[in-house]
Structures are given as structure tokens and as C-alpha cells.
Amino acid sequence: MNFIRIGSACPVTKVSDVNFNLENIKICINKALEDKCKILVFPELSITSYTCSDLFLQKQLLDKSEDAINDLCNYSKGKDILIAVGAPLYYDSQLFNCAYIILNGKILGIIPKSYIPNYSEFYEKRWFSEGLNIINEYVDLKFQCSIPFGTDIIFSDGTYKVAFEICEDLWVGIPPSSYLSLAGANIICNLSASNELVSKYNYRKDLVLSQSARSLCSYIYSSSGVHESTTDLLFSGHLLIAENGNLLKENHRFQRDNEIISSIIDIDRLENERLKNTSFKKNPYFKEVKLREVNFNFEDLSYGVFDRYVAKHPFVPSNEAEREERCKEIFNIQASALAKRLEHTGLKKAVVGISGGLDSTLALLVIIKTFDLLKIPKKNIITITMPGFGTTDRTYNNALDLCNHLGTDLREINIVPACLQHFKDIGHETNIHDVTYENVQARERTQILMDIANKEGGLLIGTGDLSELALGWCTYNGDHMSMYSVNCSIPKTLVRYLVRYVADFEVAKEISDTLIDILETPVSPELLPKDKDGNIVQKTEDVVGPYELHDFFLYHFIRQGATPSKILFLAKEAFKDCYTEETIKLWLDKFIKRFFTQQFKRSALPDGPKVGTISLSPRGDLRMPSDASFNSWMI
């Protein structure tokens, strides 16, 4: 598992007071070492401060700056941390705004700023030259010779490939980091001095997030703080760490003390994204530049306390407003997809089996919305409840109440007589409650639904969800089959929130009350006889395990391409207050075995809309042999 802790720092500075600035940079380095950071990024021109203006033309300042870099190199000896600090460089009768990359007493390379702003409040070209076309150059300083210099450098220890750009470079049409990422860099660092203006904060953050997403990389951003000159501008010390479009850490701006933020980066996750995204390097406008790779080695890659946030429910946004918006979007996708299928077939009726459980409830709610979109009477929705051996009064009554309140064509067909006849036909004892006992009921229900759909000229809507498909928790050619499946890419943990969203925002109170009770009912196929008090005996999660664990496993297995050992590690972190390691491993093993052995069911799935980043459709996201072995994935 390739995790690494990286940091972004904003030291207290005094304009043009090099010694003062250097001491505060050292303080930040010490704090970063305590935090187990392996990479630390400082602001642009942090050795001198950014707002020195014409003082940059003073030899005294330039000499002091070079001496400070020498001092910092000596200070870094024996310290296992890659430091990126900003300072000017006088080279070839020109002055460059540069990032000095230092590790263990040595400058590994110097990166010049590619684009020099000279508009609005910026007039850097008065002092600095652009470094865009500087490649394959080397510079000599008083204390170190032949230092790689240019915009063509990536720093690599084999796994972690680090590249740098400076402030304005991010704001141009094609940032240097785009090319550097295409060439292999997976950690981009930006030394910046972005001043504060009204609304600039959001735009700057959006740039960092979007560039990390577009480049499938981690992006570390550090900007100058409030102690810069305020002659005309104010700087806020904005610090950001992003990973593939996600904000991992951000500071509170306008701090007056030395400040560091740090976060753990998941390089395996980034590399998996690049592995899957075959368009990433196929850019016809990209002329591959031969880059220099400067190699280095970290002595110790320990990252301290694992404080990276790991969501228990990765399919479900933790923010309430975002979750509500997500549910609204998914509900619209489902309904719009079904509307298209109905329009295409020319059918005006839909058939759905209603059990009083979550999945069939969500499917019915989608059908209701679809018929409203198409202005088709709700009486054309044929809802069929099919009580069997395990049907409880609670689920039965909820199914009736829901359909009656929604105004559907409700029909009841008791499957017990047909199942008893079938047991007799195949020679199965009714007191043997095995898989045959259960599957006979599931297939009887599907046969009824299919035949009524044929008889009525309707479309049979499937109700199974993504979690059940991942586990193969469905009867082949039973509830596994339909004519269109609206829930097929929605995990069980999200199904609950979708039903809750409809209860809160889409329906009248009497319908909402029924939906709430359905939400509070244990998940069960109700295929085994109820107990003497009429309660559910067969609870799905007692058999296959907690759905919240399986959804977690599914997300990291499919979306992140994580190994089982990494999934176990992350699950232990996410569920440390809920499940023991033994429990998590038990259900992870069960998940892997079922995922592999049940692929044959997914190979024969009906059509259905993809609503999120994960789908198990054999025509879309998952091409997997039905007879693949799970042995290589067992831990």
C-alpha cells in the first residue's frame, strides 16, 4: 500500500529579511518532520518574500538568498524530507523565479517559473524572465555545481514521481503540470503567491481541484501569507492538498503564525485511475517532451498516525445538502431512462412486484415519477403483491397501503398453492427449507410477473439493486430477471436514502408514513416461514453479512482496484468502532467468493441505467469471465 504523507507550509515572513524568513522555514520543516511528512512545499519566493519588487534587482538580496539556500541545504542533512522552497536565481544574465528542491543536504534540481504574469496588479516581468523554454540546463552555485535546471524535470524514487510548477503556471490554458502528469508525475506541487480578492478564493480552489482531477494526480498548493507587503495587495496564506478532484485538506486563511497542513496521499489509487483511463495519455496535441528524471530515495516511508478520512459509506455523501442533491439526480436518471424505454417500446403499462421491501418500493416510486413525466395514468401501473410462506403482516400491509395511496392497479396473487403443487411435481418435501424451497417461490413470482406483462402489454420492471448483484443474492431466472431494471446500479446503502428522499420531498404525508415504516423493516426476501408471532425469521444480513460492509468492499474493489489486503486495512479504519478485524475479514472473504462465483448471473442481466461510477453490467463496465477463480484474491 503506497501511502505517503505530504505537507503544505506557510511560514511567517518579513519582506526582504532573508535570515528571519529562513529561521521560520526551518521551524516549519521541524514541525513537518514531527508529523512524518516526506514532502513539504513552501510559497513562491519564500526565502526573500514575494513582494520585494525592485529589491530583486539588488545584488545584496540575491547573495543573501543564495547563502540562505546553502544554509538550508546544510540544515536538511540527515532529514528525510523533500523540501520545495521558493527563491530567485541569477543565471545567464537573467533573473528567474524558482523552486529549489532540496533533500538531505543537496539541491536535487531547480525549477523556473514557466509563465510570468504582467497584467492587472502583476508586473513580474520587470524583474523575472520566463523559464518555459529552459530544458536540459545545469547551473553552478557557490556551494554546489551541475544542478539540473529547467522545466523538464521529474523527481522520482520509483513510486512517487514529483513535479513542480509555480503560481501563474496553474492559471494558463495548459498548465505545465498537465504535461508533467502525462509524463508520469503523480504528485504536483505548486509554490504560489496568489493575492486575495473577493471571490478569488473559490476560483483558486476550483483550479487546484480540477487540475488534480484532470491530471489524475495529487496536487499540493502553498501560497504566501499575510506578512507580505500590503502596499497594494493582501495575501492570505492559502494552503490546499487535493487528490484526483477531492479536497483532502485546507487551512483557514489569514493566519499570523507559522502554519502547516498535511495529508496522506494514496498513490495506488491514483495509479489505478490512470490504468483504467485509457484516454489519459492519448492526446493528439501532446508532443511528448523528453524529460529528465532525477532519482532520489526516501529512507523511511512511515506516515505516522493514519488520519486520512475513510468513509464508511462511500456511495453516500456525508453532507446532507449534497446527499439530497445526489438523490434527486439519481431519481431523475432512473425515471428518465425508464421513460425512454417505454417510449421506444410504445408500451403504456408497467408491471412490478411489490413486497413491502426497500428495493421494490424504490422501483415503484421510479415508475410513478416516470408515468408523471409521460402523462400516463397511474392505473396503468400494475402492482402485484404475491404473499408466500414467509410474508409477514407488516410487509404485506405496507405493500397494500403504498399501492392504494399511489393509485396503482393493485392485484394480489397468493403463490402458496402454486408452490405446493410445484413441490409435489418435483418431489420436494415442504418441510425441507433449503435453496430449492426458496428458489421455487422466487421463480414462481417472476413467472407470474412475466406472464402478466405479456397479457397486459406491459414492461416488467426489475427491482434488484447493485449490492445484490455483486453478491449474487438473487435467484437465477427468478428475481434476477426482468424486462428493464431501474435499480441495477444503486447499492443498498444508497437505496435507503433514495426512499427517504422521496418520503421527505416527493410525496404526501400518508405515503411518507408508509415509506418510513418500510425503511425501518429488516431486509429480507421472506422466503422462509415466519415465526409463531408472525415476525420475519429470514434476515438477509444474517446470511450474507452487513450491506454497509459489502458496499464498502465493492466500492474499493471495483472503483479503486484495491487489493483485498488494502480493502481490509481501509475497512478496519472506517469501521473501527463498529466491527472487529475478524468480523470484517470474515465478510470480506465471503464477498470475494460470492463476487467471483456469482458472475454468471451478472453475465445475463437485463438492461438498466448506470447512475454512478460503478456498474456491473456485462455490456458496460464489467467484462469478467464467469469461471474466474477467486484464489488469488483470498487473504
For residue 604, the tally of other CB atoms under 10 A from its CB is 12
Question: Is 476 marked as a binding-site residue?
Answer: yes
**Cα separation, 123 vs 350, whole angstroms:** 67
* 119 is annotated as contributing to ligand binding: yes
User: pLDDT at position 541, please?
Assistant: 81
pLDDT at 19 (0 to 100): 98
Active site residue 578: no
User: Is 200 among the annotated ligand-binding positions?
Assistant: yes
354: annotated binding-site residue?
yes
The grid coordinates of residue 562 equal 484495491
Does the annotation flag 353 for ligand binding?
Answer: yes
Q: State mean pLDDT over 70-93.
A: 97
356 known ligand binder: yes
Q: What does the pLDDT look like over 197-224, one tens digit per residue?
A: 998 999 999 999 999 999 999 999 999 9
Q: Give yes or no: 113 in active site.
A: yes
On whether 181 is known to bind a ligand per the annotation, the reply is: no
- HSE-up (13 A, CA, CB side) for residue 436: 12
pLDDT by residue (tens digit) across 469-481? Answer: 999 999 999 999 9
Q: Quick check: 491 pLDDT over 90?
A: yes
- What SS3 class is residue 6? strand
- Binding site annotation covers 474? yes
User: Is 468 known as a binding-site position?
Assistant: yes
Catalytic residue among 10, 37, 38, 44: 44
The least confident of 22-26, 133-137, 280-284, 290-294 is 280-284
Average pLDDT over residues 34-58: 97
Catalytic residue (one of 38, 64, 113, 161): 113
In this predicted structure, the answer to whether residue 322 has a pLDDT above a threshold of 90 is yes
Report residue 213: phi and psi, to 5°: -75, -45
| Average pLDDT, integer, range 244-248 | 96
What the block records as the C-alpha cell of 451 is: 406472464
Q: Any binding-site annotation on 359? A: yes
245 is in an annotated binding site: no
DSSP secondary structure string, 53-116?
GGGGG-HHHHHHHHHHHHHHHHHHTT---EEEEEEEEEETTEEEEEEEEEETTEEEEEEE-S--
Does the annotation flag 430 for ligand binding?
A: no
Query: CB of 107 within 8 A of CB of 141?
Result: yes
Nearest Cα neighbor of 39 from 72, 93, 79, 78 is 79
Q: Which of 167, 403, 419, 488 is catalytic?
A: 167
- What is the pLDDT, as a whole number, of residue 161? 97
The mean pLDDT value for 11-37 works out to: 98
DSSP E strands, 106-186: 106-112, 137-139, 147-149, 153-156, 161-166
For 543-561, the pLDDT digits (tens) are 889 999 999 999 999 999 9
Give the residue-averaged pLDDT of 49-54: 96
Confidence category of residue 529, pLDDT binned at 50, 70, 90 = confident
Tell me whether residue 64 is one of the annotated catalytic residues: no
Higher pLDDT, 507 or 495: 495
Domains observed in the chain: 3-293 (3.60.110.10), 320-633 (3.40.50.620)
pLDDT at res. 597: 97
**Does 194 carry a binding-site annotation?**
yes
Q: Greater confidence, 296 or 119?
A: 296
Residue 617 confidence (pLDDT): 95
Residues 6+ apart with CB under 8 A from 34: none
The predicted-structure confidence for 398-438, as pLDDT tens digits, reads as follows 999 999 999 999 999 999 999 999 999 999 999 999 999 99
